[in-house]
Amino acid sequence: THFGYKTVEQEKKADLVADVFHSVAAKYDIMNDVMSFGVHRLWKRLTIETAGARPGMKVLDLAGGTGDLTAKFSQLVGDKGEVVLADINDSMLKVGRAKLRDRGIVSNVKYVQANAEALPFPDNHFDIITIAFGLRNVTDKDAALRSMRRVLKPGGKLLVLEFSKPQHEIMRKVYDTYSFKIIPKMGQLITQDADSYEYLAESIRVHPDQETLKQMMIDAGLEQVEYTNMTDGVVALHKGYKF
Ligand code: SAM
């Protein structure tokens, strides 16, 4: 709301999102590979390429979860750079930290438990912010986008990778059936938790489409906003700058 407090509905959504990610954390990575047939790796690769991280940069991987993007950024920014993996959910953060440590990624990564709506970082701090498959889980998306813009440096870049609207009717139908009928069943089989995956399918369905998200980013003060569809728009990568 504009008054700085949350309605009962918003509180409920936040609690539900917390339950979902506490519940799926341990099996999150395997479920991503299974549900997307591994394609999430390609979506993330394009995100990394578009980010253009260079040695010495400060990067925020927001809603970073189990740290796939953080791992890549850590290599790219090197010893003089810094990557902050921020997530609201401590179960996801724990799984992410353990995974990155196992791979020997330690020196330039920090872990911060934070809500995207009110980021605990100074103004004008990061060169790059990514939020991958995170924004749709955030209750107040406009507040989150404004908060991201605030902590970006002038000239800094925001990338939002998120499910979006398939461009062709046939793809829409295939994808609807897949996400509403098949994904919850796979969730049940692999994690004994169909409810969480029903939430995920529903959260994808109600998420703003390409043009709506573009306008939300512009309204939050981002500039030169554009997007690229991937997999016929099942996923879109939005990019915007702070000047
Ligand atoms: N970015 C990772 C990836 O692409 O694999 C994880 C994505 S996962 C689907 C979504 C993440 O968003 C979860 O780890 C969840 O805890 C986090 N999240 C949900 N609401 C959030 C909020 N308000 N602020 C920060 N993180 C949030």
Residue given tokens 């690769």 in the structure block: 45
61 labeled binding residue: no
Q: Given this model, what pLDDT does residue 163 score? A: 94
pLDDT for residue 157 is more than 90: yes
How confident is the model at residue 174, as a pLDDT? 92
Q: Give the distance (Å) from ligand 1 centre to CA of residue 3.
A: 25
pLDDT(104) > 70: yes
- Residue-wise pLDDT for 54-102, tens only, equals 999 999 999 999 999 999 999 999 999 999 999 999 999 999 999 999 9
Hey, what domains does the chain have and what are their CATH numbers? Answer: 8-165+208-241 (3.40.50.150)
Which pLDDT score is estimated for 118?
A: 97
| Ligand 1 centroid from CA 31, angstroms | 15
In whole angstroms, how large is the CA radius of gyration of the chain? 17
> CB of 139 within 8 A of CB of 12?
no
Ligand 1: residues with CB < 6 A are 17, 21, 63-66, 68, 87-89, 92, 115-117, 132-134, 137-138
Residue 208 to residue 153: CA distance in whole angstroms:
26
- At 194 the pLDDT is 85
User: Which of 6 and 179 is assigned the larger pLDDT?
Assistant: 179
∠144-145-146 over CA atoms, to 5°? 90
What is the whole-number distance in angstroms between the Cα of residue 115 and the centre of ligand 1?
Answer: 10
Q: Within a 10 A sphere around the Cβ of 109, how many other Cβ atoms?
A: 23
Mutate to test the pocket of ligand 1, among 20, 21, 27, 28 (most ligand atoms within 8 A of CB): 21
- pLDDT mean over 192-220: 91
Task: Using the predicted structure, report yes or no on whether residue 103 has a pLDDT greater than 80.
Answer: yes
Beta bridge partners of 152: 126
Q: Stretch 9-28: mean pLDDT, rounded?
A: 87
> 108 among the known binding-site residues?
no
Of the candidates 188, 183, 222, 186, the one whose C-alpha atom is nearest the C-alpha of residue 204 is 183
- Residue 104 CA to chain centroid, in angstroms? 23
- What is the C-alpha to C-alpha distance for residues 221 and 54, in angstroms, rounded to an integer? 25
Measured in Å, residue 25 CA sits from the centre of ligand 1 at: 11
Q: Is the pLDDT of residue 137 over 50?
A: yes
Structure tokens at 44: 């993330």
Q: Under a CB-based contact definition with an 8 Å cutoff, are residues 134 and 202 in contact? A: no
For ligand 1, atom 7: residue with the closest CA: 133
CA 93 to ligand 1 center in whole angstroms:
10
For the four alpha carbons of 86, 90, 92 and 97, in that order, the dihedral sign comes to positive
